[in-house]
Structure 1
Amino acid sequence: MGNIHDIARLAGVSATTVSRVLNGHPYVSDEKRAAVLNAADQLRYEKNINAVHLARGKTETIGVILPFVSHPYFGTILGGIAAAAEKSGYKLMIVQTNYHTAQEIEAMDMLKLKQVDGLIITSRECPIELVEDYSEYGRIVLCEALSRDFLSSVFVNQYEAFKSALSFLKEKEKKNIGYTVLRMEGKSSISRKKAYEELFGELRSHWVFDQALTIEDGTRIAGEWASLTDQPDAMVITNDFVAAGFLLECRRLGFSVPGDVSVVGFDNHSISGALNMTTVELPLQQLGEIAFEQVISSETSHKEVPFQLVERGSV
């Protein structure tokens, strides 16, 4: 595969003329343009896209850091990012980290190495101070409730969303409420504990079930719930897929929903409607779209997206 100097020799023109033709500049005669394009075709020339990006100062690519590609929560956010990116002519570089700090740092290095124009971090494990350090290399957007001078953010108020589910159950005269989390020490988990203790006082630790991510986790947690001698009479569950697994397994074990246990999920995924399950709707598609608009903007902003409780038949 030839370079522009090879093309220039074959076409009998200068390298400057070749560059003008290949980059679509005017003021080149039709004869010379045809000679350059013919020579480029003969030599099977392809542009060095990295060099083009370097010259332009941008890649028109946005990096997206997420812990799990296949999980519906992050998949819906990603869908919103992708839809907005397509409309604006951008490509995405997606990195799955599994909440490993080293992988998050490796992904942020893409910004430092100018491989992407900006980064959207849907969830993270590494310290916020480290993320701030990388902001000197380009735009970074966080999908969490943080207000920092050099980092944009878009978020659902997880504390208020969880509190709304608890308040709803309290209004329904449910007093013994358990809940699930993905990680005990995660930021959302800390917010959930704070909301619970504000409404109900001291939390019984064995009413909190962790590692809740998939339908299979919901099935497991239902078994753990069933084995308790002091079972909660209501459960607020991490997401609709975990809630679906929990609900279906409870029924398989002979328990009634909502007779023996009420269930509230999160996200308002279509599976919650199919199972007639109460849930807290989080506008994750919209959140992803806003995150993309923030990452290509020159201004730092912080935006909150609303949530709403959708009442169905599981409470």
Structure 2
Amino acid sequence: MANIIDIAKRAGVSVSTVSRVLNNHPYVSESKRKAVQDVIDELDYTPNRLAVNLIRKVTRSIGVVMPYNNNQAFDQLLHGVLNRSVEYEYSVMVLPTKYDPQIELSYLNMLKNKQLDGIVITSRSNTWETIIPYTKYGTIVACEFTDHHEIGCAYVDRYASFLDTFQLLKDKGHSQVAFTTARGEESTSTSLIIKAYKKIFGDLPAGYHISDCHSIDDGLRVAQQLLNMEVRPTAVYANGDEVATGFYQYARSIQLKVPDDLAIIGQENQPVGIGLGLSTVDHKLVKVGEQAFDLVIENSQNKVKIPYHIIVRQSI
């Protein structure tokens, strides 16, 4: 296999000139650049990109740590990162964890080994105390608020959005409100929504919070459970428009009218919810992903808050 010494000999130039050509260095004459390129083409030479990256100390690649790749919220965050990556000619590596702390650490070690320039963490399983030491190897940006100065973040004020949503339902005359989440109380987001619920409504009735909800099927399953309770909720705040759609479908199947018998509000303004006229809380996650990418390539530890928007349609 040819190497740059072989190319230099055949092209009649120095090894440093070949290196400059491979790295697109401007200070190479056109005649020498052409001679080197002709030999490269003749030998079908491909440089070792990892070695080149180590020399340049930049990979133009970032990683996106995300627990799942079939979740509407994480898909929107990734969409935002990809939007910017195309614009700035970066490659993106998707790093799924299923919330396994060891898998997450293996991805952080990719930063340590100079395989990535930076990492966007959409949702984490390790503590910040575990993650922060890796910031000396590259930029780490979170899609949640953190006051740790080593970590930049693009975030939405989730607690404020939960408060506003529950207050909206209360103002609509609802006091029996159930809600769903993706994870249990090990999740910061779940802890915040429970805190917001208690601030607006007081004690949380048994069975009015159900976790592990991600899809339309989950919404159908949970709706069957909640809407057959002796004291059933009159309103539901679902943790996604797909989950909200499951509630809508089950409510209609048992002849409940939306919103007269059951008010429904979801999250993230998905096409399925738009089509059904479901109210939603749009956390602008595509924008969060775009901003997170910007922070990574700027090596920034800034804290950037993205505003959310509650969209009221005919379901509440």
| TM-score range normalised by the length of the shorter chain | over 0.9
Equivalent residue number for residue 124 of structure 2: 124
1:258-298 CA-partner distances (Å, limit 9, x unpaired): 12211111111222221111111211111111111111113
1:87-138 CA-partner distances (Å, limit 9, x unpaired): 1121111111111111111111111111000110001111111111111111
1:136-215 → structure 2 map (5 Å cutoff): 136-185=136-185, 186-215=187-216
Determine if contact 2:120/2:292 at 8 Å carries over to the other structure: yes
Identity of aligned pairs, percent?
35
Equivalent residue number for residue 308 of structure 1: 309
Paired residue type of 2:183: R
Deviates more, 1:11-20 or 1:183-192: 11-20
Distance 1:67 1:24, change over 3 A: closer
Equivalent residue number for residue 235 of structure 1: 236
Distance 1:42 1:291, change over 3 A: same
Consecutive unaligned residues in structure 2, runs of 5 or more: none
Determine if contact 2:281/2:310 at 8 Å carries over to the other structure: yes
Distance 1:14 1:302, change over 3 A: closer
1:23-62 → structure 2 map (5 Å cutoff): 23-25=23-25, 26-28=27-29, 30=31, 33-62=33-62
Paired residue type of 1:191: L
Paired residue type of 2:173: E
Query: Helix, strand or coil for the counterpart of 2:150?
Result: coil
Paired residue type of 1:245: G
1:232-253 CA-partner distances (Å, limit 9, x unpaired): 1111110111001111122112
Distance 1:276 1:57, change over 3 A: same
TM-align CA RMSD: 1.6
Work out the CA distance in 1 between the residues paired with 2:285 and 2:28.
Answer: 49
Query: TM-score, normalised to structure 2's length?
Result: 0.94
Determine if contact 1:17/1:28 at 8 Å carries over to the other structure: no
Consecutive unaligned residues in structure 1, runs of 5 or more: none
Query: TM-score, normalised to structure 1's length?
Result: 0.95
Equivalent residue number for residue 254 of structure 1: 255
Distance 1:244 1:13, change over 3 A: same
Residue 78 of structure 1: how far off its partner (Å):
0.8
Query: Helix, strand or coil for the counterpart of 1:205?
Result: coil
Work out the CA distance in 2 between the residues paired with 1:42 and 1:91.
Answer: 28
Distance 1:176 1:85, change over 3 A: same
Determine if contact 2:273/2:279 at 8 Å carries over to the other structure: yes
Residue 12 of structure 1: how far off its partner (Å):
4.3
Work out the CA distance in 1 between the residues paired with 2:20 and 2:145.
Answer: 48
Query: Helix, strand or coil for the counterpart of 2:92?
Result: strand
Work out the CA distance in 2 between the residues paired with 1:292 and 1:14.
Answer: 39
Work out the CA distance in 1 between the residues paired with 2:277 and 2:23.
Answer: 58
Residue 227 of structure 1: how far off its partner (Å):
2.5
Determine if contact 1:178/1:235 at 8 Å carries over to the other structure: yes
Work out the CA distance in 1 between the residues paired with 2:285 and 2:134.
Answer: 26
Distance 1:258 1:34, change over 3 A: closer
Paired residue type of 1:224: Q
Determine if contact 2:227/2:233 at 8 Å carries over to the other structure: no
Displaced runs of 4 or more, over 6 A: none
Work out the CA distance in 2 between the residues paired with 1:173 and 1:55.
Answer: 64
